Homo-oligomer: A and B are copies of this chain.
Amino acid sequence: MAAESVPFDLGESGNPRVTTGPISGSRKVHVSTPSGLRVPQRRVTLTNGEHLDLYDTSGPYTDSEATVDVRRGLEPLRTTWITDREATGGGTQLSLARSGVVTPEMEFAAVREGVPPELVRDEVAAGRAVIPANRRHPESEPMVIGRRFLVKVNANIGNSAVTSSIEEEVEKMVWATRWGAHTIMDLSTGRRIHETREWILRNSPVPVGTVPIYQALEKVGGDPARLSWPVYRDTVLEQAEQGVDYMTVHAGVLLRYVPLAAHRVTGIVSRGGSIMAAWCLAHHEESFLYTHFEELCEIFREYDITFSLGDGLRPGSIADANDEAQFAELRTLGELTHVARRHDVQVMVEGPGHVPMHLIEENVRLEEELCGEAPFYTLGPLATDIAPAYDHITSAIGAAMIARAGTAMLCYVTPKEHLGLPDRDDVKTGVVAYRIAAHAADLAKGHPRARERDDALSRARFEFRWVDQFHLALDPDTARAFHDQTLPAEPAKTAHFCSMCGPKFCSMRISQDVRRFAEERGLTTERAVEEGMRAKAAEFTASGGSVYLPVVER
């Protein structure tokens, strides 16, 4: 093993700074379950005395009661669950679900979703959902990924050889989960990969994923031809011991598929996929990830690591979408899904990439068919290639559509995609764009709790409760800042208009007057208007001091 030698030394500054404190307008509450679990939620208290509890991904960092010490790491929430389980024979979430056991992880995840724990167990048992929870990552707050649950968002972080420090990466993790990332992936490729990951894991309240081939490649000096199964296996073991919850494995890039990508417009764009393709060509052998897949399953079962079967041949452009290279690999990922399940190992399957809208749904249908409905985990997809610097938007369009069709988790894309490494602001923008896509899909799929937040925000909007509108927003700070740009004074936060239309033109305001007028007179149907209103028109004119028009829209 070539683990770095200076664990827990931040190097650059020595004094890690991360963002703490509640999100504006919210505070942390805990739901207690009969079995004694304490499940965190984010409570938004409204000015009308109501409140709304939201799914909370942000961990203790937003809890004003909690003490955060990045050097010590988070409190290990799951330690006793894990030791109790090991005392009675252990098992993975999948094997336990198959045996009919509802684990604390399942119960915890069910409370977050607002569903019965048995539903989580059933879906995990069927392989339609996963709970990524390495037994060596007891700090994480369990969550479930599957098409019957809320659509999840992953945020990629990680340094590269060119830029960024460990401290920046830990803060990116805290920052991404603050804004709603349900998992994070550490894709570091630069210096001190092991140490960066250790800091992230010990401080992460969400599952952490990695792509072990990146570190393996660093260990062999960056030459894919020098990779080997032993180097890879040792890297996986090293990361498993650290507590990585799910790992991307590009085991579907088979030797015979590589030429299928030769005539593509953008070839192979997956980093892991290109590494494995190069290895296969250099050795003219089948991928060691494929030939040693069952050994890998044994390691994954031991730690209860979840496979994220990587789509190394995913399309990197609209031109290459849904081609033979992509779908050939998908068939192999389906085969491997069933192998892993035989080993009681949980599986997600990764998906594209770059796909025009009319080809999106086929990806979901094929994945479900070929991979036994394993949770689909897609990168976007980008619905067009022509907007670098706005690929959080090109891909949020594809992401919303593919999530509606059944994708369980979306890997975010930031505005820097294709151009550079995302900074902290880019991470936030990417997470918020993807929370929008995920939530839009939850609404379209009819998730029972999804509408609550839209309706609460819409009511606040209609009643000119500006502060409530900010606090219910995915990003309260930016919403308020935008309002402040034109109407910064505090009275504007309760004013019955905004700067879009000014005080005389607000449709919301006149609409309220219309409603009051109609309701006071019982005129709430077409018929009632026809019959009863003629006589009362004068009243409205007389009472009409309030018929001012100040809008919110065209």
Who on chain B is nearest to A423 by CB? B485
Are A487 and B386 in contact, CB atoms less than 8 angstroms apart? Answer: no
Q: Is A259 an interface residue (CB 8 A)?
A: yes
Q: Is A231 an interface residue (CB 8 A)?
A: no
Are A357 and B418 in contact, CB atoms less than 8 angstroms apart? Answer: no
* Bound Cα distance from A445 to B383, whole angstroms: 12
Q: Which of A82-90, A118-126, A238-246, A260-268 contacts B (4 or more CB under 8 A)?
A: A260-268
- Contact of A262 with B518 at beta-carbon distance under 8 Å, contacts A394-B436, A487-B420 already known: yes
Q: Beyond the given A316-B552, A357-B401, A390-B433, could you list 16 further A-B residue pairs with CB under 8 A, ordered by the A residue number?
A: A258-B514, A262-B518, A266-B461, A271-B505, A271-B549, A274-B507, A318-B458, A384-B439, A385-B457, A386-B453, A388-B457, A394-B436, A416-B482, A419-B498, A419-B500, A420-B485
Q: How many Å from the CB of A294 to the closest CB on chain B? A: 24
Q: Please count how many residues in chain A sit with their CB below 8 Å of the partner chain's CB atoms.
A: 154
Are B358 and A486 in contact, CB atoms less than 8 angstroms apart? Answer: no
Q: How many Å from the CB of A504 to the closest CB on chain B? A: 4
Q: Is A393 an interface residue (CB 8 A)?
A: yes
* Bound Cα distance from A433 to B390, whole angstroms: 8
* Bound Cα distance from A187 to B388, whole angstroms: 31
Taking a contact as CB atoms closer than 8 A, the residue among B357, B394, B524 that contacts A441 in the complex is B357
Most B C-beta atoms less than 10 A away, residue of A156, A273, A421, A506: A421
* Bound Cα distance from A50 to B483, whole angstroms: 46
Q: Is A534 an interface residue (CB 8 A)?
A: yes
Q: Is A469 an interface residue (CB 8 A)?
A: yes
Are B389 and A479 in contact, CB atoms less than 8 angstroms apart? Answer: yes
* Bound Cα distance from A185 to B554, whole angstroms: 10
Q: How many Å from the CB of A186 to the closest CB on chain B? A: 11
Q: Which of A56-64, A97-105, A157-165 contacts B (4 or more CB under 8 A)?
A: A157-165
Q: Is A404 an interface residue (CB 8 A)?
A: yes
Most B C-beta atoms less than 10 A away, residue of A271, A435, A553: A553
Q: Is A345 an interface residue (CB 8 A)?
A: no
The contact string, 1 if C-beta is below 8 Å from chain B, for chain A 425-464, is 0000000110111011101111000010111011101100
Q: Is A229 an interface residue (CB 8 A)?
A: no
Are A160 and B505 in contact, CB atoms less than 8 angstroms apart? Answer: yes
Within 239-258 of A, Cβ neighbours of B (below 8 Å) are at: 248, 255-258
* Bound Cα distance from A77 to B475, whole angstroms: 47
Q: Is A17 an interface residue (CB 8 A)?
A: no
Q: Is A541 an interface residue (CB 8 A)?
A: yes
Are B386 and A278 in contact, CB atoms less than 8 angstroms apart? Answer: no
- Contact of A459 with B265 at beta-carbon distance under 8 Å, contacts A440-B394, A537-B283 already known: yes
Q: How many Å from the CB of A518 to the closest CB on chain B? A: 4
* Bound Cα distance from A271 to B503, whole angstroms: 12
Are B222 and A504 in contact, CB atoms less than 8 angstroms apart? Answer: yes
Are B388 and A526 in contact, CB atoms less than 8 angstroms apart? Answer: no
Q: How many Å from the CB of A316 to the closest CB on chain B? A: 7
* Bound Cα distance from A390 to B470, whole angstroms: 12
Are A400 and B383 in contact, CB atoms less than 8 angstroms apart? Answer: yes
Q: Is A339 an interface residue (CB 8 A)?
A: no
* Bound Cα distance from A234 to B277, whole angstroms: 72
Most B C-beta atoms less than 10 A away, residue of A384, A387, A530: A384
* Bound Cα distance from A9 to B411, whole angstroms: 53
Q: How many Å from the CB of A528 to the closest CB on chain B? A: 7
* Bound Cα distance from A515 to B263, whole angstroms: 7
Taking a contact as CB atoms closer than 8 A, the residue among B396, B530, B541 that contacts A282 in the complex is B541
Q: How many Å from the CB of A480 to the closest CB on chain B? A: 9
Who on chain B is nearest to A536 by CB? B284
Cβ contacts A to B, 29 pairs, < 8 Å? A160-B502, A255-B529, A259-B524, A262-B519, A265-B459, A266-B459, A266-B461, A269-B507, A271-B501, A278-B514, A285-B537, A316-B461, A319-B451, A319-B455, A357-B401, A379-B553, A383-B440, A386-B439, A386-B457, A386-B472, A389-B481, A390-B432, A390-B478, A397-B401, A401-B401, A418-B461, A419-B482, A419-B498, A423-B485
